[in-house]
Amino acid sequence: MGSKAVARSLMSQAGIPVVPGFDGDNQSASFLLEAADHIGYPVMIKPAMGGGGKGMKICTAREHFASLLQVSQKEARGSCGDDRVVLERYISRSRHVEVQIFGDDQENMLHLYTRDCSAQRRHQKIIEEAPAPDLTDHERERIGQIAVDAGHAVKYRNAGTVEFIVDLTSNAKEFFFLEVNTRLQVEHTVTEMVTGQDLVEWQLRIAGGEQLPILLQEQVPCRGSSMEARIYAENPEQDFLPQSGTLNVVDFSGAEQLGSRIDTGVEQGDHVSVFYDPILAKVVTWGATRTIAREKLYESLNAISIRGIQTNVSYASQILQLPEFIRGGFDTSILQNMHKQNREGHRSHTKENPFRFKDWKNLIVSIARFVLDLKCRPHWLPGGWGHIACSGFETNRTGGLNISISEAGHTGPPVVVNLEKLREGQIELVSLTSGNENSVIRVMDHVIRDIGPGTEQVHMHLGVWSKDTYQNYYFMISIIEGRDFFVSDCSSSSQSAFHLRHVPLDLEEFRILDESTQMELTRKVLAPMPGKLVEIHVQNGQAVSRGDALFTLEAMKMRHLVRSPKTAMVDEVLYQRGDVVSLGATVMTLDYPNETS
C-alpha cells in the first residue's frame, strides 16, 4: 500500500472506485505522454512513492508535460529515492476526505470516521478537521464502508488512512480512491479528539498481537468536532517558500491557556534547517460544535508568538475566517485561487501607493530603523517602553513614540506617525495621519538578522487598514553601516526594490539613488531562500530571455526554480552545483546590453 501504483491496481481489482488514470510499469517519457493524452488534460503527475504532496504537478497542456514530468521525477527521487509516477485525471473542484481505519491479526476491521483535509497549499495540508463537514449520514456511512472494504481487500493490519477525492464538478458527489497511507498521519490528532481514543496505543497493542480495543463499529464514539492547524516555517506571500534560521521566540502558552493541544518538536533557540520538512507544530482544538472548535483554533493561532523566522500562523488564521471554510465543504482549489488573487491585488495596490501616503518609502525605512534600534534595548518596562533615546525620534510619553515626516515639496503640516506597543517587547501598531487620510499599520511580525560585518536585515510583515480595506505587505530591509537602506517589496511574486540613503539625526533627509546605481543593484540575482543549488541552467556569457531558467534551489525537499527577470546576458555565475547558499546570496549577475547605465 506504500505504492500508489500498486494500491490503485489492487483497489480497482476489488471494485473500489479509483480516479481514471495510469499506474503501469512502463515509465518511459514517451509512453507517459501518450497515457496523459489518453486521460485528457489537465492531468495530475504524482510520484508513486512518498507523500506530503512532494513532486505532485498539474499539467494543463501537452506541451508542458515533458518538463513537468522531469521536475516531478527529480523531486520524487530526492524525497524518497524512487522516481516512478502515476497519472490521474485532475479534478478541478474537489474535496480531500479521508477515513482512519484499523485492522488486527484476527481480521477485525473498522473505521474511526472521517477527516476533511481540503485546505491545502502545494498539495500539502494546512487545516484538518474531524468529522468531515457537509456530508449526509448516508454519505458518511458509504465512504466509511468503502474504506473498510479497501482494508479487507488487502488484508490490512494496524493503522492506515484511506484517502478519497470527492468530485464536486457534478451534483452526484462521487468518491474516488486516492491512496492508503500505511501509518498514522500528522492529522490523526483530530480523530483522537473526537473519539477519545489513543491511536498510538492502538498501534502498539495491535503490533503486539492483541485484538482491536473496540470490535464493533457502532461502539466507536464520535463526539463534537476537532480542528488542527499545521504551523510551517514558510512565507505564504512568496509562494510558500520554506524559511530557515534561529527561532528567537517560541511561545505557545497563550494557546495552551485556551485549552488547545500543542504537538511540537521545537523550542526557543532551535535552528530550523533547510534539509527537513518545514513543519514546526500542530495546534489542535475540540468543541461541542464545529463553530466552537473553529473559533477556539482562531483564538489560539492569534495567541501564538514565533519570532526569528517567518511562519504561516497568520495565513492559517485567515483561512478560518473565509466564508467558504465557515460554511464547510471546502474546495481544494479555493486557497490556490485566493492566493493568486491576493498576489494580483498586492501588485496592483502596491503600484498605486500601499499606504495612501506619497512618501511611504521613508515611512517603511523609519519603522525598520525603529525596530532595529529597539533590538539593543532589552530593558522593557512593565506597562510601557520607558524613556528611549532613538536618534531621529522624539520620545513624547512612556507608552509610545511620535515621529514626524515632512514630504518633499509639501508646505502643509507633516505626517504624524504614532508607534505604540501592544504586547511586551513587540512593536505592534502604527497610526498614520496625512491630511484627511487615516491608516492603521500593524507590524504583524518582524525578524532581525545579522548578515555580515556592519550589515543587518529587518524582515517585516505589515498589515494595513485604510478605510474599509485591508492588505498584507512584506518588506526586507538591509541596513549597511546604519546609513544605506536597501528595501525589497516582497508582497508579490514580481518583487520591486529601492535604495534610500539615510542621513543620521534627520529623519526627513533621504534620497533615492540615481538610475545607474539602481541598475547595478538589479544586476544581481539573489537566492529567494536558503538551500542547495541542485541545478544551474546557464553559464557565463549565455544569452537568456525573460522567464528562462537560471538556477534551481532545493530546501526542505522542495524545489524552487528561479527565472530571468528580463532579456539579459549572464555575466558571472558565482556558485557551483551542489553549493548551499544563504537567503539573499548573489548567485549570479546579469548584464542588460540594451539598457544604458
Judge contact between 508 and 568, C-beta under 8 A: no
Among candidate residues 122, 157, 183, 523, the one labeled active-site is: 183
What are the phi and psi torsion angles at 362 (to 5°)?
A: -65, -35
DSSP 415-461: EEEEEEEEETTEEEEEEEEETTEEEEEEEEEEEEEEEETTEEEEEEE
The angle, 0 to 180 degrees and rounded to 10, between the axes of the packed helices 65-80 and 29-39 is: 110
Question: C-alpha grid cell for residue 159?
Answer: 493503522
Strands (E), 104-253: 109-121, 124-130, 158-167, 174-181, 225-232, 234-235, 241-242, 245-246, 249-251
Euclidean distance between CA atoms 437 and 440, whole angstroms: 10
First-to-last CA distance in the chain? 60
Largest CA distance in the chain: 86
CA–CA separation, 366 vs 360, rounded Å? 10
Q: Is 357 helix (H, G, I), strand (E, B) or coil?
A: coil
Contacts for 505 with CB less than 8 Å, ≥ 6 apart: 391, 392
Q: How far is CA 537 from the centre of its chain?
A: 26
The single-letter code of the amino acid at 549 is A
Neighbouring C-beta atoms of residue 228, cutoff 10 Å: 29
Q: For residue 234, report the phi and psi dihedrals to the nearest 5 degrees.
A: -160, 165
Q: Based on the residue annotation, tell me whether 347 is a catalytic residue of this protein.
A: no
Helix (H, G, I), strand (E, B) or coil at 99: strand
Q: Which residues are catalytic?
A: 183
